[in-house]
C-alpha cells in the first residue's frame, strides 16, 4: 500500500521567472497588502528584498516547478525532500514581500491551486498572520479561512488516511477508510457533523474547535507547529491538537514507509 497521501491536480505550465511586476509590500502586522496586484507585488519584492531577492526568487521558482508535478500535494516526504509549501515558506522567510507574490502573481497560480485546501496557504500569503510557532501570532479571521480546508489524522499513514474537512455553515465531514474484504479492500465512509470555533482570549489569540459528531463531541486546540528539512525551515504545520495525540489532525503527517 502506498505511503503517500496525494491529491492529483491537473496543472498547466507556469513561468519560473518573476516578471518585473507582481504584488505588494507586507504590512507591519505581517499581513499582505490587499491593494496590490500580481505585477505590483513582484516589483515591490524586487525592491524590498535587497540581497535576499535572488535566493527568495529561486525558492519561489522551485515552489512553482513543484506545483506543476502530477502528485504535487504530498503529505509524506522522503528524507531531504521538500514540498511545494516548504519552498514557498523559504521564499517568504527570506523576504516577507513574497507573501504578496504568492497571493497575487499569475506565476504562483499553481501554488495557490495545489495548496488551496490547506490553512498553510493563508499563512504563506499573509492573509493569516501565523507563519511559525512564536510568541507573536495573530489568529484574526481564521474562522473565515477554515471552510474548504482539510487536515489528516496523525494516527495512521498510507492511502487510508482519515481526512477531516471543514465546510461553510459550520459543517464538517470525516472521510474514513474502512476495510470491507478479506484482501484488505477499502471503502470510504463519510461521517458528517458540525463545528464551532471559540476564542481563547482576544481576536488575535489562538482558537479551540468544538466538533459535534453523531455519537460524540470532541474539542481541539488549533495550533501551528514548526517543521524543518535538515537545517532548512519548512512550512508551518497547522494542527487540530487533541489531548489524546492519536486523535489529532494535521496539514502534514509523518508517514511510515
The pTM score is: 0.77
* Per-domain boundaries in the chain: 6-124, 142-250
User: pLDDT-based confidence at 252, cuts 50/70/90?
Assistant: confident
198, β-bridge pairs:
208
Residue 179's pLDDT is what? Answer: 73
Q: What DSSP line would sit under 59-124, residue for residue?
A: HHHHHHHHHTSTT-EESS--TT---HHHHHHHHHHH-TTHHHHHHH-GGGHHHHHHTTTSHHHHHH
Please state, rounded to an integer, the average pLDDT across all residues of the chain: 78
The more confident residue out of 222 and 160 is 222
The more confident residue out of 134 and 1 is 134
Grid cell 504545520 is found at: 237
Residue 237's pLDDT is what? Answer: 87
Q: Which of 28-32, 116-120, 123-127, 150-154 has the lowest mean pLDDT?
A: 28-32
Grid cell 519552498 is found at: 87
Distance of CA 17 to the CA centre of its chain: 23
Looking at residue 32, the DSSP 8-state letter turns out to be B
What is the per-residue pLDDT across 29-43, written as a single tens digit (0 to 9) for each? 445 555 444 568 888
Q: Record the cell numbers describing residue 127, joined without a space.
A: 492573509
Amino acid at each position: 500500500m502506498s505511503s503517500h497521501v496525494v491529491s492529483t491536480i491537473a496543472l498547466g505550465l507556469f513561468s519560473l521567472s518573476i516578471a518585473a511586476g507582481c504584488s505588494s509590500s507586507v504590512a507591519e502586522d505581517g499581513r499582505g497588502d490587499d491593494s496590490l496586484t500580481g505585477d505590483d507585488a513582484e516589483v515591490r519584492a524586487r525592491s524590498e528584498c535587497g540581497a535576499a531577492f535572488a535566493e527568495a526568487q529561486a525558492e519561489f521558482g522551485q515552489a512553482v516547478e513543484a506545483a506543476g508535478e502530477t502528485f504535487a500535494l504530498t503529505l509524506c516526504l522522503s528524507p531531504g525532500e521538500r514540498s511545494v509549501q516548504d519552498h514557498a515558506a523559504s521564499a517568504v522567510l527570506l523576504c516577507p514581500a513574497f507573501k504578496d507574490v504568492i497571493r497575487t502573481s499569475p506565476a504562483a497560480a499553481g501554488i495557490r491551486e495545489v495548496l488551496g485546501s490547506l490553512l498553510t496557504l493563508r499563512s504563506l500569503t499573509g492573509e493569516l498572520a501565523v507563519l511559525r510557532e512564536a510568541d507573536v501570532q495573530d489568529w484574526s479571521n481564521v474562522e473565515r479561512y477554515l471552510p474548504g480546508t482539510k487536515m489528516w489524522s496523525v494516527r495512521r499513514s498510507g492511502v487510508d488516511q482519515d481526512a477531516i474537512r471543514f465546510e461553510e455553515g459550520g459543517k464538517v465531514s470525516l472521510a474514513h477508510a474502512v476495510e470491507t474484504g478479506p484482501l484488505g479492500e477499502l471503502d470510504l465512509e463519510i461521517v458528517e457533523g458540525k463545528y464551532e470555533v471559540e476564542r481563547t482570549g482576544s481576536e488575535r489569540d489562538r482558537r479551540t474547535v468544538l466538533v459535534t459528531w453523531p455519537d460524540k463531541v470532541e474539542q481541539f486546540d488549533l495550533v501551528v507547529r514548526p517543521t524543518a528539512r535538515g537545517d532548512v525551515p519548512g512550512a508551518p504545520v497547522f494542527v487540530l491538537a487533541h489531548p489524546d495525540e492519536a486523535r489529532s489532525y494535521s496539514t502534514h503527517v509523518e508517514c511510515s514507509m
